[in-house]
Amino acid sequence: MHSQTPIGIFGLGEVCSNDLSLIMAKLDDKSIELVDSTDRTKRLKHDTALLYDTSRLTLESQRTHITNIDGKRLKVAKRARFKTFLGGKIDVFYSHWPSRLTMEESNPKRAQLGIALRGAIDSTMTADGYYILMGDYNDDPSSPSLAYYLRATRDRTLATKRDRTPYNPFWRKLGESIHHEDSTGDNSVCGTCFYSGGDYSQWHTFDQVIFSSAFLGNGQMTLEERYTDVMASDELKLRIKRERFDHFPVLSCISLRSKKT
C-alpha cells in the first residue's frame, strides 16, 4: 500500500475486527497503522475503521460521537485527531449513517444527524480549523442533513467567508461522469452508490469527503480538488452491476507545505 498507493488516510466501512486483521496481514506494511473503531458487542454496532501512514501522521486522540433522539442512540461519527509530519493538527470525522431502507431522506432523525455532526465539529475543532468529514452518509450532498443542517456547501467563495461552513467537492459528482456523445452506454457512472430498484435514479452520491474552509486558504494544508474522484474502475463497474457490491470507493487529496518563516 505504501509504495504503490501513497495514501495517507484510508477509511473503511462495513467491516469487523476479523476483516481488519485480514487486511493488515495482506498489506504486511509496517508503516501502516490501524484505528479499529469497530464494536459489535453492544446494541449500537460500529463498523468503521481507518488505516494511516505513520511516516506522515501520528495519532493523538480518538472519540466517539453519539446522538440520542427520542431515547434512540444513533452513530454520528468517530473522530481521530492526527498530527502531521510538519506539525499541524487535523481532525478526521468518519461516519456510516443509517440506510435509506431503514431511515428515509425526509425522516427528521437524518436532520438531527447533521446537527449533531455540526456540534461535534464545533466542540472539538482545533485552533487552525483543519478537519475532514468522510464516510457513507446514505445521503446525497444536496440532502437536507448535509446541505442545510451540516451546512456543507458547493460554493467555495461562501465557504471561505464563513469559518463554520465546510466545502463539499462531491457536489460535482451528482451527474453522469462522461458526456453522452463520448459514452459507450456502460462506461459512465453518476454517483458512488448503485441500486437497481431506485424509483427516480439508480445512482446516489452517498460516499463523500468534505473539507473545512481552512483547506481553501493559504495555510499549511490545502485541498487539491483536481484529484477528488469516484474510483470507478472497469472491474468495479462490472461488479457493481452484477454482484451484491454497491459502493465505489472515493478519493480526495490535500497538499502539505512548511510554514513560511
Q: What is the pLDDT along the chain (261 residues), one digit of tens a residue?
A: 334 447 899 999 999 999 999 999 999 999 999 999 998 777 788 999 999 999 999 999 999 999 998 888 999 999 999 999 999 999 999 999 999 989 999 999 999 999 999 999 999 999 899 999 999 999 999 999 999 999 999 999 999 999 899 999 999 999 888 888 888 777 888 899 988 777 888 889 999 999 999 999 988 999 999 999 999 888 888 887 776 668 999 999 999 887 654
Residue closest to 109 by CA, chosen among 142, 79, 76 = 76
pLDDT at 45: 86
Neighbouring C-alpha atoms within 13 Å toward the C-beta of 179 = 2
pLDDT at 251: 95
pLDDT at 148: 97
Cross-strand partners of 223:
254
How far is it, in rounded angstroms, from Cα 121 to Cα 162?
14
pTM value is 0.93
The distance in angstroms from the start CA to the end CA of the chain is 34
pLDDT at 243: 67
pLDDT at 33: 96
Residue closest to 77 by CA, chosen among 48, 39, 111 = 48
